[in-house]
Amino acid sequence: MTETAVGTGRAAAAGDIVTFTYVGYLYDSTKSDFKGQKVESSVDTNSTFTATVGVGAILPGWDQTLLGMQAGGKRTAILPANLAYGANTRDAQGIYAAIAANSPLVYDFVMVNVIPQVTIPNQPPPTVLTVVANTPGTGTAIVAGKQITVNYTGWLYDGTRPNFKGAQFDSSLTKGVPLGFTVGGNGVIPGFSTAVIGMQVGGSRTVIIPPDQAYGAAGTTSIPPNATLVFDITVVTSN
């Protein structure tokens, strides 16, 4: 990561709302600045992007680069594939090149504004499985017995955050491989299997899973006992 201009004011911290511009390129080792074909840009559309930084709401590499930036600051970062789009692909779109699986990318960022996070009263976790966001996909709805693959990211529940996402403990996106399992089988925690019922290929959900449908009193090495979990789930395939 290279800081090409230092900004002024508050340095972006986890939970802050940041507004910035970005330009992304395929990594090209033959170029002196490593910038190959352009893949996306807010600058080309004269627009900005606003997100909560440091909470897993954007690409991991974006999070890492934007933290600490100040308004007016500029940074260029080379993102390895696991901090960008991982094994996911994207077709060429107009003037923008396609992104192949496991592609490293180069981004230019300019920070426009940093708004401090708002302290939110601690909201107790729900005691039943709760869907807090849902984007439909296409095709047949998933039922028990289906063999599916999904991309997912999991966080510990944090009632002080607006999206309830605390510390991240696992993600298929960083591994670069979707998770495959039989719905209703023993391959995943019960709440995860229940959460995908009714989803379609390409659809996504954010779900809150109580401990009795997760890892219960036992926990794991990365999940405390009796922890409520939050998952983003996107269905990749269903057979």
Q: Are 154 and 78 within one domain?
A: no
Q: Are 164 and 111 within one domain?
A: no
* Nearest Cα to Cα of residue 151 among 87, 99, 194: 87
The length of the chain is: 239
- For tokens 């990365």, the residue is 222
Q: Return the pLDDT at 120.
A: 66
**pLDDT mean over 122-130:** 94
Per the annotation, the verdict on 170 as an active-site residue is yes
Decide if 121 is inside a domain.
Answer: no
Which residue among the candidates 34, 49, 170, 181 is catalytic per the annotation? 170
Decide if 124 is inside a domain.
Answer: no
Residues 84 and 86: their CA atoms lie apart, in Å, by 6
Decide if 123 is inside a domain.
Answer: no
Which residue among the candidates 85, 109, 192, 231 is catalytic per the annotation? 231
Decide if 17 is inside a domain.
Answer: yes
Q: Return the pLDDT at 57.
A: 84
Residue at 22: amino acid letter? Y
pLDDT in tens, 188-206: 999 999 999 999 999 999 9
Q: Are 89 and 185 within one domain?
A: no
Decide if 120 is inside a domain.
Answer: no
Question: What CATH number corresponds to the domain at position 217?
Answer: 3.10.50.40
Per the annotation, the verdict on 189 as an active-site residue is yes
Beta strands (DSSP E) in 116-226 are: 130-135, 147-157, 165-171, 179-182, 204-209
Its domain, for residue 196, covers: 130-238
Reduce the DSSP state of residue 105 to 3 states and report it. Answer: strand
Q: Are 84 and 163 within one domain?
A: no
Q: Are 208 and 144 within one domain?
A: yes
Which residue among the candidates 189, 209, 223, 233 is catalytic per the annotation? 189
Q: Are 148 and 195 within one domain?
A: yes
Number of domains in the chain: 2
CA 179 to chain centre: 16
Residue 119: pLDDT band (50, 70, 90) is: low
Per the annotation, the verdict on 192 as an active-site residue is no
Q: Return the pLDDT at 96.
A: 95
Which two three-digit tokens encode residue 68?
């600490």
Decide if 36 is inside a domain.
Answer: yes
